[in-house]
Structure 1
Amino acid sequence: MTAADAILDGLDPEQRQVAEALHGPLVVLAGAGTGKTRAITSRIAYAVASGTWSPQSVLAVTFTSRAAGEMRTRLRALGAEGVQARTFHSAALRQLQFFWPRAVGGELPQLAPYKAPLVAEAAGRLRLPTERTAVRDYAAEVEWAKVTQVHPDDYAAAVARAGRTPPAGLDAAATTRLLTAYEEVKQARGAIDFEDVLVLLVGLLAEDRSVADTVRRQYSRFVVDEFQDVSPLQHSLLDLWLGDREDLCVVGDPSQTIYSFTGATPDYLLGFRRRFPSATEVRLVRDYRSTPQVVAVANGLLERAPGPRGQRLELLAQRPSGPAVRYQEHADEAAEADWVASEAKRLVAAGTPASQIAVLFRTNAQSEAYEQALADAGIPYVLRGGERFFERREVREAHLLLRGAARSGSGDDPAGEAARAVLSSTGWSAEAPSTSGAVRERWESLAALVRLADELPATRPGATLSDLVLELDERAAAQHAPVVDGVTLASLHAAKGLEWDAVFLVGVVEGLLPISFAETPEAVEEERRLLYVGVTRARTALSLSWSRARGRRPSRFLDGLRPAEAGAARGRAGARGERPARGKAPLPTTCPGCGRPLSTLAERRVGRCDDCPPAYDEELFERLRAWRLEQAREQSVPAFVVFTDATLAALAEKRPRDERALAAIPGIGASKLAKYAAGVLEVLTAE
């Protein structure tokens, strides 16, 4: 068997068909979990190993640094060194930096790492609101206009055609002025943004024949992953790279189109064979990721979608049978979060790594309840979907401090020991904070750096602080974040491209799935696809849950999927030990002091808003804190694992006198009741 033949060994018939189609246009419609990355990297490696392609002639592009990194790793393992695998922006920036001095002259304008400051300045010039949420919405609209190639003067007509609503608080005319002001601010600063990288390269390739010819001589084979997410601007760039040639392979799944709000469209994928009538089409439908039970739910979701059935891929499960998919109803969001935390704890105790469990939700605002519930249960977690790891302020500061320490004489100190010493000065401690939100996120980031320092000697024996700094430099350049060992909390959008052994899809209710502002049939169907993406992240265990709080009802997408008796699950759950609400009344939603809505889970557990003074004896609260600290030290666990501050506040305010009353306090489940009831009641009744 030759080296080239060995690459094809182990591929299924459809994957092998992809790998052997080396000439002409190729479209691969690949369902979730069907091994598309394996198929396309095997295709590239087979072409190189057989001598059909030169590795330097291949450009493979995708949409995230993580996906590009995975592609490069696989290609190296298959012996295809020299193949370029990059994101659209990375490939474009590399070319722009090379050609700009010779084609335009001078240095390329400075690339602004963040759009928000420039957008805020433009909004300020126009006396528009500049609070963080408004600036975020403005920036999203700026990005949409640029990737859909809409000039500011054409904005009003473009949003009307697209059925798109301008950012909150603005009309089309005001948004047009904002787009113009943004361009003026950039020009005054001598800066470009990430979309400009594509815009400028498109212009350069279209207007300078010598530049276009140079790029086309370099690259003659193109592979584009996640083609359903291509924007008009990216497609224009791809056309210019390709020229009049047809050696293009595109891979995608129209059922995973979830970024239309950013300008992505599946039209190029679905219309590929109209543009290239000679194209070969291969469908990958064998699902190697998920159990038949999970696959059945995924297929069921798409079966109920309107539109041509030929555009949808029916997955065929290849894995052995697994547990039934669970559908769970709860009284309110707090009970739902408690149930998820208790199930996560059960999975971890049974041997599932915390990093192989995910809680997925529609909006980032839903994360707080699950942060608090997991903290109550003593389960580590990590938030995904915010800033990239190495762009977080605390990580950048820590990186600089570690580099400074290495240069000032500590470079030869052991990596783990030195990292702890340096990061302690930034607020890191061995004990996790009992709070959630930004404080917890900061601690998790720094803790991930400490763990990386501890693990480094396994790959770099005798690793020193200097080695750690070098490792961080390399990882930052590749956006290769260290793994955080905890349950993943992520929005459905942020979960795209990832997978876990166990997935909890939470808040599956009308108003969230589909989201309330999905008013058109097209928008509603994108919400269905978003849920489909969430379902197909699960390998083995999948749970879908919702609460009846505030009159909500389960999502319409679950109609016909959940068993007829699922609605009665709420009543039976306590008997099975699956719902830790334990008969508690729903948590209050308004503050009794000022009448303001209680906006966070911590406020609802305490029963008042943060602005109102506590109604408990503060000396009692301090005694409870002292007791908690003693328990934590005895058990060598963080204090919040015993009880959170919100639970202590509720104890001090409500003063339960027996176990029955104690069990009604939010944050005290059966296991904590058994472990701590006697001690905490002793503190409460000592007077």
Structure 2
Amino acid sequence: MAGPGTGKTRTVTHRLAHLVLERDVPAEQCLAITFTRRAAGEMTERLHALIGAQAQRMTVATFHSFGLQVLREHHEELGLGADFGLADAARQQEILTAITGDERNARKAKAQLSPVRRGGEADLDTEAMLAAYLAVLREQNLVDFDDLVVLAVQLLTDHPGIAGQYRRRYRWITVDEYQDVDELQYRLLRLIAPAGANLTAIVDPDQAIYSFRGADVGFFLRFERDYPSAPVLALTRNYRSGAHILDGAIRAITPSTLVADRRLQPASGRQAHRITAHQDDDERAEAAFVARTIDQLLGGASFHSLDSGRVLGDGPGGIGFNDIAVLYRADSQSHAILDELTRCGLPVQKRSHDRLSARPGVDLLVRELLHVADRTGPVTEQLRMAAKTVADTVPEDPRPDVHTAVELLGRWRSAAERTYSGSAGRCCSVPRSTRSTHAPRRFPC
């Protein structure tokens, strides 16, 4: 039972290292399963640092990569060729488009089929579509992402002898983020780790986040019944946050927590500013509050802030723009905040993971650029021509997006040119003599 910031990954990797180095457990008998490739990669790196070359003999995998391993080793029993491939999203879309007749229905079908594959109910039409889809995949010697777990469960269920082989191969199994397993992953785990197996599950039911994918925190509640001899150890010391954050977090989750007597204790005794809760009527008012709070922290970002009475006093002091971060839950919330910060003259940089082509207005510009006749002219001029054409043909509402996209593409092009000219990774420091309390101290080139 591990709360947030309590050193779960460190605990897991050190336990595995202890088994190998101190308890003479063969590394090849250890299987560690986590939910993302990134987490698996981090775990592998830490194990290499702890036990060296022996880490190469351990299996550290996601549920899906472990399923792929099972399929590769027993493809014949599943009727797959030795060189079967994994259908990517584009290939799946192509197959479903051929079955349904158009791309829109194909996308809708894909959204319906995946939950059914993971144990959901389906009507006759959906079942028929699924059968047709799987038939095409198998004809082309392909599996999809869901197949990696579905077929692994099917194989180990239909062939108890093969399931026994994996039980004998992996005598020490560790599963991270156990609260996020879904029904198929749970069944796969039970097939290779029945009652009495050396299974370690790291879990925090209050951090369950994948219910939209079929994950069910109820499997955590079944763990003690499935594995009655398993001792329960609690990690309650938090190494990430101060007491004020932990106290606020405990108050927030206590009404719905699944952990009796939920506790989190800070590793350090340092205190910081109190948490302030603020409620607004809409996202615009909320964004205005964020901008006003930043202005007050800075002691006034401009003379207007002081002259207008928006800011009184100098603020706590020693705080600059680059000391402040605004966090939000969903990307849709960012637009109001960015607009308000920009309107107030506060420099802001969005740390975004969305694709450039997905930004508003960019797709319209790119499509128009494909039709620009003079492709040998300056790129800036081509952008200007494309922007004018698009702005003249679209409704009034998306026109601001077009102009924003022009600026965005211009910045992106400039950054790309600097990268290709050899300045990637450098950073320009503001000369100390020109720094102000409010100025960002470093600018990416």
Sort the TM-score into its range (normalised by shorter chain).
0.5 to 0.7
Question: Among residues 225, 231, 236, which one is paired with 2:176 in the alignment?
Answer: 225
Query: Does 2:222 match 1:253?
Result: no
Residue 267 (structure 2) pairs with residue 318 (structure 1): yes
Cα distance in 1 for residues equivalent to 2:227 and 2:412:
49
Deviation string for 1:226-257 (max 9, x for gaps)?
00000111112112222565100001111112
> Is the partner of 1:30 in helix, strand or coil?
coil
Task: Tell me, in whole angstroms, the C-alpha distance in 1 between the residues paired with 2:410 and 2:184.
Answer: 36
Would you say the 8 A contact 1:285–1:316 is kept in 2? Answer: yes
Q: CA deviation at 1:223?
A: 0.4
SS of the residue corresponding to residue 51 of structure 2 reads coil
Q: Summarize the Cα distance change of 1:209–1:270 in structure 2 as closer, same or farther, 3 Å threshold.
A: closer
Aligned to 1:84: 59
Which residue of 2 is the match for residue 498 of structure 1?
Answer: none
1:442 and 1:249 map into 2 onto residues whose CA distance is 52
Distance 1:264 1:120 in 2: 28
**Residue deviations 1:483-541 (CA, integer Å, cap 9, x gap):** xxxxxxxxxxxxxxxxxxxxxxxxxxxxxxxxxxxxxxxxxxxxxxxxxxxxxxxxxxx
Amino acid in structure 1 at the alignment position of 2:3: G
- Per-residue CA distance 1:244-294 (angstroms, 9 max, x = gap): 651000011111123222110122222211111111101112222222222
Q: What is the distance in 2 between the residues matched to 1:438 and 1:213?
A: 61
Alpha-carbon contact 1:382-1:444 (below 8 Å) kept: no
Deviation at 1:36, TM superposition (A): 1.4
Post-superposition CA distance 1:39-69 (Å, at most 9, x none):
1111111112214322221111111112112
DSSP 3-state at the match of 1:73: helix
User: Cα–Cα, structure 1 residues 135 and 68, in superposed 2: closer, same or farther, change >3 Å?
Assistant: same
Matches within 5 A, 1:553-592: none
Is this contact kept in 2: 1:368–1:437, CA < 8 A? no
Q: What amino acid sits opposite 2:328 in the alignment?
A: L
1:43 to 12, 15, 20: 15
CA distance in 2, matches of 1:61, 1:241: 12
Contact (CA 8 Å) 1:61, 1:85: kept in 2 or not?
yes
Aligned Cα RMSD in Å? 4.3
Instruction: Please give the alpha-carbon distance, in whole angstroms, between the structure 1 residues aligned to 2:77 and 2:426.
Output: 46
Q: Do structure 1's residue 360 and structure 2's residue 328 form an aligned pair? A: yes
CA–CA distance in structure 1, aligned partners of residues 413 and 34 of structure 2: 27
Contact kept, 8 Å, 1:62 with 1:226, in 2: the verdict is yes
- The answer to whether the 8 Å contact 2:114/2:146 transfers is yes
Aligned to 1:571: none
- The 5-angstrom pairing of residues 187-202 of structure 1 reads 187=138, 189-202=140-153
Normalising by structure 1, we get a TM-score of: 0.46
1:66 and 2:38 correspond: yes
Q: Equivalent of 1:118, from 92, 100, 124?
A: 92
Q: In structure 1, what is the Cα distance between the partners aligned to 2:417 and 2:163?
A: 43
Q: Identify the match of residue 286 of structure 1 among 237, 245, 262.
A: 237
Cα pair distance change 1:100/1:256, threshold 3 Å: same
| Distance in 1, Cα, partners of 2:114 & 2:406 | 27
Task: Tell me if the contact between 2:172 and 2:199 (Cα under 8 Å) persists in the aligned partners.
Answer: yes
Summarize the alignment of residues 295-314 of structure 1 with structure 2, pairs less than 5 Å apart. Answer: 295-305=246-256, 310=260, 313-314=262-263
Pick closer, same or farther for the CA change 1:125–1:136 going to 2, 3 Å.
closer
Give, in whole Å, the separation in 2 of the partners of 1:332 and 1:46. Answer: 53
Which region of structure 1 is more displaced relative to structure 2, 203-212 or 29-38? 203-212
Q: How many pairs are equivalent?
A: 365
CA contact (8 A) 1:228 1:268 kept: yes
Q: Of the candidates 381, 384, 399, which is equivalent to residue 350 of structure 2?
A: 381
Q: Indicate if the aligned counterparts of 1:122 and 1:181 stay in contact, CA closer than 8 A.
A: no
Shift in alpha-carbon separation, 1:190–1:364, aligned structure 2, 3 A: farther
Alpha-carbon distance in 2 for matches of 1:280, 1:437: 57
**Who is 2:440 aligned against?**
none
User: Percent identical across equivalent pairs?
Assistant: 29
Counterpart position of 1:95: 70
Q: 1:105 to 1:138 in 2, by over 3 A?
A: closer
Please list the CA deviations of residues 293-337 of structure 1 after superposition, one character each: whole Å capped at 9, or x if unmatched.
Answer: 2212211122223x8662x62322334211111223446423433
The answer as to whether partners of 1:229 and 1:264 remain within 8 angstroms in 2 is: yes
Match of 1:276 in 2: 227
Extract unaligned runs of 5+ from structure 1. Answer: 1-28, 157-172, 389-393, 395-423, 428-432, 459-636, 639-687
1:204 aligns with 2:161: no
How far apart are the structure 1 equivalents of 2:115 and 2:335? 29
Return the offset for 1:366: 2.8
Give the conservation status (yes or no) of the 8 Å contact 2:195–2:227.
no
Matching residue of 1:594: none
Q: Is the 8 A contact 2:171 2:197 kept in 1?
A: no
Show the counterpart of 1:12: none
User: Partners in 1 of 2:126 and 2:406 — Cα distance?
Assistant: 31
Work out the CA distance in 1 between the residues paired with 2:76 and 2:144. 18
Distance 2:183 2:413 in 1: 36
Question: What residue in structure 2 maps to residue 334 of structure 1?
Answer: 284
Are positions 1:144 and 2:115 aligned together? Answer: yes
Instruction: Kindly indicate whether the alpha-carbon contact (under 8 Å) linking 1:225 and 1:250 is maintained by their aligned counterparts in 2.
Output: yes
Q: 3-state DSSP class of the match of 2:122?
A: helix
TM-score of the superposition, structure 2-length normalised? 0.67
In the alignment, structure 2 segments of 5+ residues that lack a partner are 302-317, 357-361, 363-379, 384-400, 428-442
Please state how far the C-alpha of 1:120 moved relative to its aligned partner: 7.2
For 1:340, the aligned partner's letter is V
Secondary structure in 1 matching 2:248 = helix
8 Å CA contact retained: 2:156, 2:163 = yes
Counting only pairs closer than 5 Å after superposition, residues 459-474 of structure 1 correspond to structure 2 as none
The alpha-carbon distance between structure 1 residues 105 and 366, as it changes in their structure 2 partners (threshold 3 A), is closer
Which amino acid is the alignment partner of residue 368 of structure 1? H
Correspondence 1:107 to 2:53? no
Cα distance in 1 for partners of 2:40, 2:72 equals 20
User: In the alignment, residue 142 of structure 1 is paired with which amino acid?
Assistant: L
SS in 2 for 1:383: coil
CA contact (8 A) 2:33 2:63 kept: yes
Secondary structure at the counterpart of residue 239 of structure 1:
helix
Structure 1 position 181, deviation (Å): 4.7
